[in-house]
Structure 1
Amino acid sequence: MPEPTRPVFAPVDTITSDRDITHAHFAPGDQIVVIKGVADGELWGESMTVVAPSWHTPTDEDGWRVRNPLGGSQSFITAHPRYLVHLSKRCPDCLIYLRALEDFLLPKVVGAQEVDLGWYRVTNLGQLVHAADAKAAGR
């Protein structure tokens, strides 16, 4: 798969940082996705498997160690629960979050085949950090 393009202007994510989701919402073995952008008029992201509890240093909160089944240089990363969306089950909280992202993003990113919005980065400690959390943590 080719690398997604990065838009010159990407909308600021005002939804994820306000998402109120607890650590207990996910469990080891859950299949999840982290939404990173838009592809062909739909939300696009990386699917992973929840592995084990892990401290998310950038937010000083309980996070999850997740595994990318495709491997690569970052097979395992730590992520805050508010970044994750269930793939393995249809739960109301995740569906509401997905709908809010669709309503917010899809009208703003039109005509692009695949766009990575640049909302996330992985630190040198293997922690996935949302742009809003990175600013709050001074990173």
Structure 2
Amino acid sequence: MTEHCPPPPPPAFAPTPDPLTPSRDVTHAHFEAGDQIVVLKGIAGGELWGDAMRVVAPSWHTPTDEDGWRLRDATGGAQTYITGHPRYLVHLSRRCPDCLIHLRAMEDHLLPKYAGQDALIDCGWYTTTALGQLVHIADIRRGQ
């Protein structure tokens, strides 16, 4: 007798568009080696949630053909080091005006959509390429 498992339930929420990060104008020079940053990925318990990392070294970001940063995830995981574009990053180690403005805009955009939700919600904005590069869905090129 073959046992059939029921299909997995659909996700509670469809991915939420992120119109702010792809158009964010932040230069490579905005971050420095040693900075602690977060890559915002969604909502958890009514607050923004993301992956905290440390900026390690300059690195070419192949998916965008622009200067990027090599990032280290101190908690390890499947990949301890990845490369990300500066517009994906928000300072944790210092309170700079640009990052605070971006953080507030993200809160204003996302928090009302998930008011009252306590679950961790990954908005599905990022993927990691075979080259270990963090790529926002708005930056993915065909054939990659």
What secondary structure, in the 3-state scheme, does the structure 1 residue paired with 2:60 have? strand
- Check whether the contact 1:7–1:117 (CA below 8 A) recurs between aligned residues: no
Cα 1:7–1:82, aligned 2, differ >3 Å: closer, same or farther?
farther
TM-score by length of 2: 0.89
Unaligned runs of 5+ in 2: 1-10
What secondary structure, in the 3-state scheme, does the structure 2 residue paired with 1:36 have? strand
Does 1:85 find its partner at 2:81? no
Q: Which residue in the other structure is 2:7 paired with? A: none
1:113, distance to aligned residue in structure 2 (A) = 1.8
Larger Rg computed on CA atoms: 2
Give CA-to-partner distance per residue, 1:20-63, whole Å, 9 cap, x none: 00000000000000000000000000100000000000000000
- Check whether the contact 2:16–2:124 (CA below 8 A) recurs between aligned residues: no
What secondary structure, in the 3-state scheme, does the structure 1 residue paired with 2:22 have? helix
Q: Which runs of 4+ in 1 moved over 4 A?
A: none
Task: Supply the distance in 1 between the matched residues of 2:118 and 2:41 (Cα, whole angstroms).
Answer: 14
Unaligned runs of 5+ in 1: 1-5
1:127 to 110, 133, 140: 133
Does 1:27 find its partner at 2:3? no
How many residue pairs are counted as aligned between the two chains?
132
The alignment yields a C-alpha RMSD, in angstroms, of 1.0
TM-score by length of 1: 0.92
Q: Which has the higher contact order (CA 8 A, sep 6+)?
A: 1
Taking only the aligned residue pairs, the percentage that are identical comes to: 64
